[in-house]
Amino acid sequence: MTAVATHCPYCALQCATTLHPVERPGAVEVQPRDFPTNRGGLCRKGWTAPEVLTVSDRLTQPLVRNAAGDLVETTWEAALDFVADRIRSLQEAHGNDAVAVFGGGGLTNEKAYALGKFARVTLRTSNVDYNGRFCMSSAAAASNRAFGIDRGLPFPLADLGGAGAILLVGSNIAETMPPAVAHLSGAREAGGLLVVDPRRTATAGLTEEGAGVHLQATPGTDLALVLALTHVVLQENLADTAYLAERTDDPDGLFRSTAGWWPERAERVTGVPAATIRRAARVLAAAAPVHGGAGAYILTGRGAEQHSKGTDTVTACINLALALGLPGKVGSGYGCITGQGNGQGGREHGQKADQLPGYRSISDPTARSYVAGVWGVSPDDLPGPGRSAVELINSLGTADGPRALLVHGSNLLVSAPRLASVRERLAALDLLVVADVVPSETALLADVVFPVTQWAEEEGTMTSLEGRVLRRRVAVEPPGEVRSDLAVFAGLAERLRPSIPFSMDPSAVYEELRVASAGGIADYSGISWDRLDAGEALFWPCPSEDHTGTPRLFADRFGTPDGRARVVAVDHRPVADDLTAEAPLYLVTGRLLQHYQSGAQTRRVAELAEAEPEVYAEIHPRVAAQLGVVDGRPVRLRTARGSMVLPARVTSDVRPDTVFVPFHYGGEGAVNELTNDALDPISRMPEFKVCAVELTSAVSLMEVPA
């Protein structure tokens, strides 16, 4: 093996790396490459990523559950035959929608495309969605309705470096994607890093010593805070009124919708002092182009988005950006920090319940006709929009719900909300099939497990948080009988509907994806495999092979019919599960530097597991004193959905009204046993980020050190 240029398997920063051969079979060493996003850096997860390739419990052979209830090894042919036979019988008895498919934001573009096509052409089911519904859906919904286009960052990440101010709402990039912190240096030097977060995270800590402002808002009140920031901008004549008149559809609506959110009112709701709100608004405005500033950006993350009002919170952030005249200006703008490795590409090619490739709507007759033509079927054969992720999960095994579920690239028994209900619904299925790399919590419940390739064992493409399409390359051969997810789709399609073949060659699948995306919002048709192999990393849309890609969107017009951004009036409302006398604290969840998503990969890396081996609850010293809780001793958390016992970590980094728990752990450490599955009415995002919780000491319930 020679050195192979590829990208990190984890977050959407997609840090560039080079993999080098080592003596052990299947193993590599990693070195960072210079690239615009990571600038030669890697985080701790990236440095240790090769360890996952050779973990001791790597899945290497198909498994099927026998009569005794055990998962035992079988052949690919037997496993595929079994699954195809069960699908056929279930659909004959209950209809096409009796089978559902659930995808993931870590799948390559080719796998995401093939998954959506397989669901709609081979299975002919409307029941397909993916875990990106838990990640980007609120920001996507808000961007689509305001701009007509959803691309996480409609500008290159490197543009942030020249900004005088950056407002981060619910994003902790210092822990989730550390190499990106380098792009905040300009704003920090100017004293313009503004961070909204109920915790003093590593990112919030970057605002200290004059580098910016930490707005430590009450959980669930980001929307009220952003409305107040916009109020200050408008009432103090800091807005770009010419931009609003020329480039938005309803400037007056923006004034009307924020008029009542003076900072003193927002202080009562958010806990952020009115003076701090005014200071932050003025710092942000001073950096805006309309005032001759160096540039300003507003960026949102999961902390703002994973709420039952997440779409409205992101909309408020977009409205603030519009008030300052930021979107479409070089050196300024609004963007969303995409989380999963292919969170951007994963939602563009048909995994989502209402989408077809190219980010087309499955309800659009023109889109249906075009894509059906690419697939060689009648538009009438394509199903309509299906259920969103939580609604799909809640319907499993019910009278009118799916009887079978195929899961690719997702670990539902850690990542979904209200896990007791998820476990119950999975148990009610007649058939659960999981394709995975390791025996995740979800795979261990399956009737059939397909062992599939991971990052360094497969060819393909990924799309970074900027909308930049990248090449993933093979560095090592997969172990045992491991095959690609593409082979799973092809094998089942051959058995179920052989008239519509599926390729197992990633380059061939990508070429079909290019054709299917042509003319769509996310147009990849000009981004050929050869161009990517030649070293180009191109931004979509790229409609022809002589096109250079589109690093920056919205310079002249937005993606709406008239080219103007839509101002959507929004207002604050309480969280779905608000505080009560019995549950007087807010539970918030989030990520750690050492772990990624459901932890199925990182909890198997010794260095990372040793650094953060178990789940814990951060509580404020004042609360600890009131309850007699000692650091490291157990506490019980109880919400309307369940309870768990875990050690306390006493720290002033969290608000006194807040308990923080990381969500990367499974089994008894899975905090999503407690989280709320209340949905945003537009994005259908569940309210992971906040709910009411009762906290009590639980020393007698857990063995603790002397």
Mean pLDDT, consecutive 10-residue segments, the chain of 706 residues? 91 96 89 95 96 96 97 98 98 98 97 98 98 94 97 97 97 96 97 98 97 98 98 98 98 96 98 98 98 98 96 98 98 94 92 96 98 98 97 97 98 97 98 98 98 97 96 96 98 98 97 98 97 91 97 97 98 97 97 94 96 97 96 97 97 98 96 98 97 91 44
Burial status of residue 700 (CB atoms within 10 A of its CB: 0-12, 13-18, 19 or more):
exposed
Instruction: Please name the helix (run of DSSP H) or strand (run of DSSP E) that holds residue 659, with its range, or none.
Output: strand 658-662
73, 103 in Cβ contact below 8 A? no
3-state secondary structure of 373: helix
Task: Classify domain 137-336 by CATH number.
Answer: 3.40.228.10
Strand partners of residue 448: 64, 433
Q: Is the dihedral of CA 336, 340, 343, 344 positive or negative?
A: positive
For the chain, how big is the Rg over CA atoms in Å?
A: 24
For the chain, the domains span: 63-134+342-533, 137-336, 585-701
Non-local CB neighbours of 703 within 8 Å, separated by 6+ positions: none
Q: Which token pair is 312? A: 């409205």
Whole-angstrom distance, CA of residue 562 vs CA of residue 147: 11
Q: Enter the pTM of the model.
A: 0.96
414, 436 in Cβ contact below 8 A? no
Quick one: pLDDT at residue 703? 45
Whole-angstrom distance, CA of residue 388 vs CA of residue 133: 7
- Tokens 């988005």 belong to which residue? 305
Whole-angstrom distance, CA of residue 550 vs CA of residue 569: 30
Q: How many of the other CB atoms lie within 10 Å of CB of 200? A: 18
Quick one: pLDDT at residue 229? 98
Non-local CB neighbours of 351 within 8 Å, separated by 6+ positions: 103, 104, 107, 112, 115, 116, 128, 129, 130, 132
> Which amino acid does the sequence have at 72?
V
- Tokens 């670990």 belong to which residue? 411
3-state secondary structure of 700: helix
According to DSSP, the β-strands at 469-472 and 460-463 are: antiparallel
Quick one: pLDDT at residue 399? 95
Q: Which of 35, 76, 7, 133 is nearest to 452 (CA)?
A: 76
User: What HEC string does 425-441 produce?
Assistant: HHHCCCEEEEEECCCCC
Quick one: pLDDT at residue 435? 98
Non-local CB neighbours of 234 within 8 Å, separated by 6+ positions: 254, 255, 258, 323
Whole-angstrom distance, CA of residue 698 vs CA of residue 600: 28
Q: How many of the other CB atoms lie within 10 Å of CB of 603? A: 21
Task: Classify domain 585-701 by CATH number.
Answer: 2.40.40.20
Quick one: pLDDT at residue 700? 58
3-state secondary structure of 590: strand
Whole-angstrom distance, CA of residue 437 vs CA of residue 434: 10
Q: Give the CA count within 13 Å in the CB-facing half-sphere of 106.
A: 21
Strand partners of residue 406: 101, 433
Q: What's the CATH number of domain 63-134+342-533, 3.40.50.740, 3.40.50.620, 3.40.50.1980, 3.40.50.10490?
A: 3.40.50.740
3-state secondary structure of 168: strand
User: What HEC string does 235-278 produce?
Assistant: HCCCCCHHHHHHHECCHHHHHHHHCCCCHHHHHHHHCCCHHHHH
Non-local CB neighbours of 75 within 8 Å, separated by 6+ positions: 62, 481
Q: Which token pair is 433? A: 């099939």
Q: Which token pair is 580? A: 């009560």
Q: How many of the other CB atoms lie within 10 Å of CB of 346? A: 33
